[in-house]
Amino acid sequence: MASNAPPSEEGRKVNTAATSASATNGEANGTQPKGSLIPTNNVTTKDGLTVRTRIDPALTVQDVIRQLCINLKVKEPFTMYALRDETDELVTNDNLRKKIKGKVNLKLVNAPALEAAEIVEKLVTTPTDAASALQNKDAKLGLALISLRRYIREEQFAKEFLQRDGLRELIRIIEHFQGNTLAVALTAMQNLMELDHGWDSLDDTFIFRVVQIMSSEQSLINVCRPAAAILKKLVEADPSSVPLPQVGSSRLPQILPPESVFRYGFGVVYEQMRKEKRLLETVVRRLGSADTTMAMYSMMLINSLLAHASDDRWDEFIEEIERLNVCKAVTRLMSSHTIEDLTSCILDFQANVIRVTYRKKITLVEPDIEPAHAAALDYIWTCSRLQEERDNDMHPLKWRRIGFESEDITIEFREVGVLGLDCLKCLVAKDPEFWAKVVQEQISRPEERRCPIAKASNEIVDLLSEHWAIYAPGYSTSTTFQPFFLNFQMVHALATHFFLRMWNESGAASDDFQRMVALTRSQVKVALRRENIRPWHEVEHDFLECEYRAVRDRQMQELEMEDDIMSKVPIRALRAKLHKESFEFVRQQRIHCLLEGAWFMNAIPLSTATPRDTIRRPTRPWRFLRLDNGLKYLHYVDSTAKFPVRKGLEDLPERIDVSLINEVSTGTCAPFPNFPLPRDTFDVPTSPVMASPLSFSLLTASGTSIADQIAPDQSRWADWTDGLNMLRKAGGHVASSETELFVQSLTEIGLKIKLLDLTGERIEIPSGLVAGPPPSSSDFFFSDLVYDTQV
């Protein structure tokens, strides 16, 4: 109940804590009131009057507003009002308790329904002609869009805005306006799309308009950033991304409801992109923008397209990406980026390129079916300047003349697929004269002395795939930049030249092929060491200038320390299988850590605009985070001190939607000033101006941080940053070297255990697996038994 005391200019005491009148009177008499344990909040009315209010956390927001309206003698219905905090965040039943305990200053403002109605009305009355709007000096539109941009993330406001057909009016503004007005309108649309409903009616016309905005060189940076985020969101809103309900460990199928926003996807967006040929070219050019945030948004859009490319457009899109030399642009970013957010985007790009490379490696070369494969092979053969002949048995002698073992191209490229074909074509195209000279020189030699250059090319593709762990389309375990990997074909060309030179200098024969492969493998490890810091000219020197004797001596020393058995093809295949299993095991372990929960320190992002000397120590510096069993929400509680948290979610009233986490940025925030840090607990710098190496931020698609934390130790930091990355739809990399080392260690241990069963019995492991002759007829069937043919 509320006190009936008359208001005063100094401030009125309005008690909405449902306490008795005697308790309120007791406070006036100086005695301890019954409601004194309830914190006091300042509430500012629309008239600018501030009142001190004691609010019971058990009440609903509607009850609080109703009590306020009664005590303030407001004539309008209480349903016309809402509460917001100083940052204009809407007070809801979910965050009311947090606001009360934090003694946050509140404001009594118009309800979301009224705000939405006023904004839609201003949008509707705006002239459709931008020039007319400017002549009328319609400042109301700008103010309405700024308010819309701020409020549209709220469920209550968004519902009212959409019910009043506000989305149609917002799209109209986007279609007809330019400049800053367009930038604010696009940002409002971007914020609306953070919700999982309400934007299912966007048509091809709207998507093409956003594509045109992104393609225009005249578009402002503040226009391009939200446009890129909108396209990214549309690409990711495909039917396969619908969150499926979980029952135990099984996932149940789900029918797409009519109002679902998961109806777009790569195909819908790419269809509009094809109408504007300049789009991808412009996006790639913006990777070199002086505005680092613009470069980050462009990277995020490219990553989204790579991760969601559909099968029917995959070849066309990847060909366009390669034509624009996106890898080269990203390589330049590796040495020029200035913010940690871009680091995460680059690592995501590396992981996507690994997926693309793996897919190429497992795609068969079929010249009879794929015209592109036939064209590439014809180019390779034409550049060889050879004539097709026949052997003594009158069989065609064509591909064997350039170094293959047979005339069946599909079988020859079986282990390296289209990746091997692309690398061989690139090798030829780089210097056709050199290719023709090498092939003709080998043909002039006795058959046993010829270097099978085409076969060597495929072997080197396999070596490089092994070096960069291109085993499966899973997550990348690299935590550092890999500029040499992004130049895969250039490295392949250098290594192939090295192979050929070693063959000639050593006077090798046909039986020495595997020995030369082992020699090249050794040199690959040396030349590509410390990839993230080595300059390119040193790689070239290692491949082109080294002498055979020095390479051979070093290899012999390596063989003394490592059994040659590890380089055999079946063992490498087994290693690839175990690597995939090890990664999945570590992934499950990381997610299990999230399910268990952990304490973190609340931190401040270094990008905050607030002067650091004005930031005060928080009243609740500790936060406990725990992932729910459905893997959809991070539940948490902020506290003045750490306490034993029970199992389940009862002690964790707040939550973060995992689907909103677009980026897990590391090393981005610092501890609060003057906060005592136990050195035996937190290994963080004591200076408040330095970022903690154990810090991480959870960022939305718009770059807004929804959590800034500092982990208690390196292990906890690795568990959570990698675990959260693995939960993200676009997550493609790990942030810590711990995870990378765990995967490698488990792989090596598993491999040694498997080999104990073989080497202990002195079983000879072949250098390769040779397919037997084809069956004489089709009168057979495959057994249900599965045999392990890895070794």
Q: What is the pLDDT of residues 339-350, one digit of tens each?
A: 566 888 888 899
Q: Which domains does the chain have, with CATH numbers?
A: 13-110 (3.10.20.90), 371-562 (no CATH), 583-739 (2.30.29.30)
What is the tally of helices (H) and strands (E) in the chain?
A: 29, 18
Structure tokens at 77: 């219905």
What pLDDT score was predicted for residue 746? 84
Q: CB of 482 within 8 A of CB of 733?
A: no
Q: Indicate the residue type of 458.
A: N
Q: pLDDT-based confidence at 742, cuts 50/70/90?
A: confident
pLDDT at 334 over 60: yes
CB 704 within 8 A of CB 191: no
The encoded tokens of residue 689 equal 């101006």
Give the pTM.
Answer: 0.72
Average of pLDDT values for 631-640? 87
DSSP state string for 713-769: SHHHHHHHHHHHHHHSTT--B---HHHHHHHHHHHHHHHHHHHHHHHTTTPPPPSS-
pLDDT category of residue 475 using cuts at 50, 70 and 90 = low
| Percent of the chain whose predicted confidence (pLDDT) is above 90 | 33
Q: How far apart are CA 470 and CA 462, in angstroms?
A: 9
Amino acid identity, position 35: G
- Does the pLDDT at position 218 exceed 50? yes
- Residue 183 phi/psi, 5° resolution? -60, -45
* 769 burial level (CB within 10 Å; 0-12, 13-18, 19+): exposed
Name the β-bridge partners of 476. 733
Residues with Cβ < 8 Å from 547, sequence gap 6 or more? 505
Residue 168 has pLDDT above 90, yes or no: yes
Among 481, 468, 492, residue whose Cα is nearest residue 579: 468
Long-range contacts made by residues 759-767, C-beta under 8 angstroms, separation at least 24? 759/565, 765/565, 765/568, 765/570, 765/571, 765/791, 766/568, 766/570, 767/514, 767/568, 767/569
Residue 249 has pLDDT above 80, yes or no: no
Phi/psi region, residue 429 (left: phi>0; alpha: psi -120 to 50; beta: rest), is alpha
358: Cα separation from own chain's centroid: 18
Name the pairing type of β-strands 50-55 and 13-16: parallel
Whether 727 shows a pLDDT value over 50: the answer reads: yes
Average the pLDDT over 691-703 and give the result.
81
How many angstroms separate the most distant Cα atoms in the chain? 118
Contact 637, 653 (CB under 8 A): yes
Confidence (pLDDT) at 243: 63
Cα angle: 170, vertex 293, 210; to 5 degrees: 30
d(CA 198, CA 262): 11
Residue 733's pLDDT is 67
Q: What is the mean pLDDT of the chain?
A: 81
DSSP string computed for 473-501: SS-B---S--TTGGGHHHHHHHHHHHHHH
Residue 788 — very low, low, confident or very high, per pLDDT cuts 50/70/90? Answer: very low
Q: Residues 590, 624: contact at Cβ < 8 Å? A: no
Judge contact between 687 and 737, C-beta under 8 A. no
Name the pLDDT band for 396 (thresholds 50, 70, 90).
confident
Position 620 scores a pLDDT of 81
Element (H, E) at 316: helix 311-323
Tokens 């680092």, residue located: 292
Choice among 448-452, 464-468, 554-558 with the minimum mean pLDDT:
554-558
* C-alpha to C-alpha distances, 589 to 658, 661, 714, 718, nearest whole angstrom: 18, 20, 16, 11
The pLDDT of residue 343: 83
335: Cβ–Cβ under 8 A, 6 or more apart, which residues?
none
Does residue 227 register a pLDDT over 80? yes
Q: Is 26 helix (H, G, I), strand (E, B) or coil?
A: helix
Selection from 626, 569, 615 nearest residue 414 by Cα: 569
- Provide the residue type at 637 as one letter: V
* pLDDT tens per residue, range 553-568: 887 777 665 555 666 6
787 pLDDT exceeds 50? Answer: no
Q: What contacts 136, CB < 8 A, 6 or more positions away?
A: 127
Quick one: DSSP state of residue 90?
B
The pLDDT of residue 575 is above 50 = yes
For tokens 């087994």, what's the residue?
574
- Quick one: average pLDDT of 8-16? 41
Report how far residue 410's alpha carbon sits from residue 374's, in angstroms, rounded to the nearest whole number.
11
pLDDT in tens, 119-151: 999 888 766 554 444 444 457 788 899 999 999
Output the pLDDT for position 439. Answer: 92
Can you give the pLDDT at residue 389? 79
From the list 369, 377, 372, the residue with the least C-alpha distance to 412 is: 377
404 close to 455: Cβ distance less than 8 angstroms = yes
DSSP reduced 3-state for 339: coil
Q: What pLDDT is attached to residue 425?
A: 95
Instruction: Please report the pLDDT score of residue 436 as a whole number.
Output: 93
Looking at 434-438, 692-696, 732-736, which range is the least confident one?
732-736
Please, which residues have CB within 8 angstroms of residue 631's CB and are 6 or more apart in sequence?
A: 246, 591, 658, 727
Residues sharing a CB contact under 8 Å with residue 790, sequence separation 6 or more, in sequence order: 570, 573, 574, 577
DSSP state of 447: G
- Percent of the chain past pLDDT 70, that is, above it, reads 80
Mean pLDDT across the stretch 159-187?
92
Structure tokens at 465: 């795939």
